[in-house]
Each structure stands twice: as C-alpha cells, then as structure tokens.
Structure 1
C-alpha cells in the first residue's frame, strides 16, 4: 500500500512539473505546445487514485475487538473484603444483594436541565414586542442573530418552555395576528391573502393549511363567522 501511495505521489509531482514547464515556456519564451496533455495526465492520476480508494473500501479488513467482560459479581463483591465490616461483606454476597431501584419519572424530571427564565423572556420579547414572526423567511438562525442567543439554546427553550417546535411557535403567533386583525374595522382594506402576507405567511397554500391546523376552520369560514 505504501508503494502505491508513493507512485501516486510521484505521478502528481510529474504532472505539476509539466504544468510548471508549460507556464515557463509560454510566459517567458512565447512557446506553446501543439497538444496539451496535462489535463489528460491529471485525469489519469485522479482515476488511479479512485481505483486505489475503492480497493481500500473493504470492510473485511476492519476488525472489532470486543471489550473485556466485567468481573463476576462474586469476584467484585469479595475484592478487599478484609477491609469491610462483616455486615458490608454479607450484603455484598450474591444471595444478599438488594435490587437496584428503577428510575422514576420524578427522578428523570429532576435530572433534566431547567429552562433559563432570562432566555425564555428574551424569546418572548422578540415575539410579542419586536414581532419577529412578521418576517416571512424567519429561521432559527435569524432569530439567533436577532437575539444573540445560540440556536441550540433557542431550540431547547422553545421545546421545553413553550411546549412547541420552533415552526409551530412562530406560526401560532402569525395565526393569532391574523385573527386579531380580522377583528378590527381596518380588516376590510385588504383581502385575506394580503392580510396573511402582512402577518408573516409567504403563500396562500401555507396560510390556509396553517390557519386550519390551529383553528380547525378555513380562513374564510373564520372571517365570515366574526
């Protein structure tokens, strides 16, 4: 294998030297080759590298060595038994071993990381006061740039603090904004589609689907019932 790599390295070096020679002859002496074989030579070298790579892609050459099995319970129990009191030694014996308690939901909940209240408040302010959801192309990365919070932190806080995915949270604010504007006298100046576009939706199809998902009604049904 080492020899093959050495041959490939030499071939790449030869192609590079030929290119350098062509540049010198062309730029300094005004000499041009009638036929340029550099591209063909480079293609041949790349082809050979591909063949060598495919030949190495053989998983049979990969071996996995299993980890050593853990020590038997009896052995672990009696290691250093002389330094333990009799009661501890008796508890360590297999016959007296007590079962390990299973993890309860309360234990798992306590182990889960808590939501940072300051981060939650910053996201809520960006949505409710700065109304970033009106941006029809809003993404997690854009919200991160707007708030200065890491994308993963925003995603975690939205999932745990709001109980929604990022997209569902943004769309819920957009739907709420449409419903709020439909209830105002100024709603008549725009069509439903125009109103949806002003509220952050980017197409009629998306607006109809999302609105019905959150309200159970099509936009026109909701508008006529108001």
Structure 2
C-alpha cells in the first residue's frame, strides 16, 4: 500500500485491493475488522491523511491550494477529508498547517 501509493486513487475499492492481493473480499474485510480494528475506508484514509501531513511538512502547502493537496492525497470530497483529518489528528487541517509553520520557523 505504502510503496505503490494505491491510496491516492480516489476510486480505490476493497474489491480492487482484493484483486491485487488475490485474496477474497470477505477475508480482507474480516482482516481489517478483526485484526486492525478498523474498516477498509478508515485504513485507506489513514494513509491519505499521512500523505497530506507529509506534503505539509515538505512545504507543498505553499505551492498548492488546500483543495489540490486534498485531491493529490486521494480524497474526492473536501468534507470527507476534513471529517477524517479531525478524527485522526484531533485538529483541523488548517490548525495542523499553522502548527507546522511555527515549528519550521
């Protein structure tokens, strides 16, 4: 997942990952729920949020709009991105950017 950045595809479904891994969907779903204690979408969105944070740390926010960064991370909805970012990070993306700017100064 990490090496090939499959998560940046906004249309990536569990069936796509299942085909790629040659594992039935129901087994993959069971793995996420029972062993990782999260849904498939939570798993994928965690990678997307991490990608966004990396882009911010690399200074990408000064070159691109927030919407462009959101799209490049694999989200196709601004609302979904904001909801998941807040859920994972406990702060808004804008707050994360501000904190990151302060640390780099």
- CA-to-aligned-CA distance 1:166-208 (integer Å, 9 cap, x gap): 1111111111110111000344211111111000100211111
Runs of 4+ in 1 over 2 A off after TM superposition: none
Query: Mind listing any 5+ residue stretches in structure 1 that lack a counterpart?
Result: 1-126
1:178 aligns with 2:73: no
Q: Residues 103-153 of structure 1: CA distance to partner in whole angstroms, max 9, x if unpaired?
A: xxxxxxxxxxxxxxxxxxxxxxxx111221111011111111222111011
Normalising by structure 2, we get a TM-score of 0.87
In 2, Cα distance between the equivalents of 1:129 and 1:149? Answer: 19
What residue is the counterpart of 1:188 in the other structure?
Answer: 62
Asked if 1:128 corresponds to 2:2, the answer is yes
Q: Equivalents in 2 of 1:148, 1:131: separation in Å?
A: 18
Residue 158 of structure 1 is matched in structure 2 by 32
Question: Where does structure 2 lack aligned partners over 5 or more consecutive residues?
Answer: 101-105
Normalising by structure 1, we get a TM-score of 0.42
For residue 160 of structure 1, report the CA deviation from its aligned partner. 2.4
Aligned residues: 100
Q: Higher RCO, 1 or 2 (CA under 8 Å, sep at least 6)?
A: 2
- Distance in 1 of aligned mates of 2:85 and 2:60: 20
- 1: CA distance between counterparts of 2:25 and 2:65? 35
